[in-house]
């Protein structure tokens, strides 16, 4: 019985001493963090949670950042590319996710951005809107139209 108790105590120290970290080496057990995954068909989305920039994310990429606890919208910056792949830096727009994200104190919140994520235009290349571009819709619908517009102009 004493051996089993000793084994349980040793295991308790081993597991409580481990710090849960993500690939960016950020501890996600004692800090308020947000993990965003780009599960869209697009490279080049750049999400923000408040003033925290998650950087340019390619499809399939996951990024964890420390954030302040609270409620915020996710802003997504889209950069249009020509069909040949060359970037058009002057053709950048900001979109708000329709849903808010709540990050709890000392918890890791996860968010997956998909093609079906609903977004609302909030600024940037207004020529897109003045030529009949959508002001809201799924990220895929909006981004496909945005890319098409920028390749025609």
| Residue 2 in domain | no
> How far apart (Å, rounded) are the C-alpha atoms in residues 126 and 145?
13
| Residue 59 in domain | yes
Count of domains forming the chain: 1
| Residue 14 in domain | no
| Residue 1 in domain | no
Closest CA to 74 of 58, 54, 60: 54
pTM given for the model: 0.72
Cβ–Cβ < 8 Å for 37, 113: yes
End-to-end, the C-alpha distance of the chain in Å comes to: 78
For 116, the domain range is 20-152
Say what the alpha-carbon torsion angle 147, 136, 39, 93 is, to the nearest 10 degrees. Answer: 50
Average pLDDT of the chain to the nearest whole number: 77
Decide which of 25 and 132 is more confident: 132
3-state DSSP call for residue 11?
helix
Decide which of 123 and 81 is more confident: 123
| Residue 77 in domain | yes
Cβ–Cβ < 8 Å for 68, 50: yes
- Tell me the CB-side half-sphere exposure of residue 36, using CA atoms within 13 A: 29
pLDDT tens digits for 138-149?
888 877 777 677
| Residue 13 in domain | no
Cβ–Cβ < 8 Å for 134, 116: no
pLDDT tens digits for 26-69?
554 689 999 999 999 888 789 999 999 999 898 899 999 999 99
């Amino acid at each position: 019985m004493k051996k089993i108790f000793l084994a349980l105590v040793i295991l308790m120290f081993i597991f409580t001493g481990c710090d849960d970290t993500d690939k960016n080496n950020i501890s996600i057990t004692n800090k308020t963090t947000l993990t965003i995954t780009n599960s869209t068909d697009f490279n080049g989305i750049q999400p923000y949670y408040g003033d925290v920039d998650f950087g340019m994310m390619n499809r399939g990429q996951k990024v964890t950042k420390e954030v302040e606890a609270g409620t915020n919208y996710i802003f997504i910056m889209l950069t249009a590319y020509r069909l040949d792949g060359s970037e058009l830096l002057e053709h950048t727009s900001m979109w708000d996710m329709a849903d808010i994200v709540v990050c709890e104190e000392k918890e890791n919140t996860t968010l997956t951005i998909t093609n079906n994520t609903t977004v609302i235009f909030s600024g940037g290349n207004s020529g897109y809107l003045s030529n009949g571009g959508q002001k809201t819709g799924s990220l895929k619908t909006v981004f496909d139209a945005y890319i098409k517009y920028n390749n025609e102009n």
